Amino acid sequence: MTQRIAFQGALGAYSHEACVDARPDAEVLPCQTFEDVIAAVREGRADLAMLPVENTTYGRVADIHRLLPDSGLRIVDEAFVRVHISLMAQPGVAIEELETVRAHPVLLPQAASFLRQYGIRGESWADSAGAAAELAQTGSRTLGVLASDLAAEINGLHVLARHLEDHAHNTTRFLLMSPEPDNSRRGSHGMMTTFVFQVRNIPAALYKAMGGFATNGVNMTKLESYMVGGSFTATQFYADIEGHPEDPAVARALEELGYFTNTLDILGVYPRDPGRD
């Protein structure tokens, strides 16, 4: 049975590209918002959710860390997608004919020098892949779009220039999420474990909670804090570590963490993506 993956955005979005890279044979389900993506899986309209969590240039994706703990879903894989920005237009249109280029506000600054070179005005658009679909419908010869090659292919547009991004490292990390966890050891590059926790209200609780990972030699690749419940005193932490909960060192570190936390919830155990290297 073919799996279906829900993602936020229009066909051709970078999230769609992540779905294709991670599960080439799966069907995709475009959704309007991240909440819609999660709902699609919880309601059985999709088997998996593809959600972006961070970008090497722009940092954390807003709201995702707040949504993940209450989503009811578990991380089963991660995917790193290199963000390549292409300029596309109607077939037969030359760059010199373009007057305006539409793109998501995050993409426009990365192609600013290129657009200046050709005297093209940038126009912010809510969704780059959606802008590509709209361009295909309107048939305008003076309008271009900055988006992925996949968006051009889906909408029958012609790519005029590729790799316009200023940052050669620009990469987005995605999490593939399922209603059921998969704690099996798999992959050939090691395992990752992601969890959220709240520390007890005692002096140096966070310092003590983190001590177990240091003394047991467990590499913590990410630790972020964010408020919960609208309170400045209630803080939840999101963490990624290398290893499996059954690894002796990880098990000891998590046990020690438990002494200093009120809540601890493992969001997923999944293969370490080679893109980390």
Q: Which residues are catalytic?
A: 172, 174
Task: Copy the structure tokens of residue 86.
Answer: 């292409």
Q: Which of helix, strand or coil describes residue 271? A: strand
Rounded Cα gap, residues 243 and 44, in angstroms: 31
Among residues 190, 176, 167, the alpha carbon closest in space to that of 250 is found at 190
Contacts of 82 (CB under 8 A, 6+ apart): 170, 171
| Residues 167, 171: Cα–Cα separation, whole Å | 9
Which amino acid is located at 2 in the chain?
T
Q: Please tell me whether residue 122 adopts helix, strand or coil conformation.
A: strand
38 vs 68: CA distance, rounded Å: 9
Query: Which residue has tokens 């969001």?
Result: 267
**How many C-beta neighbours within 10 Å does residue 28 have?**
19
Q: Do residues 12 and 133 lie in contact, with contact meaning Cβ atoms separated by under 8 Å?
A: yes
Cα gap 193→249, rounded to integer Å: 13
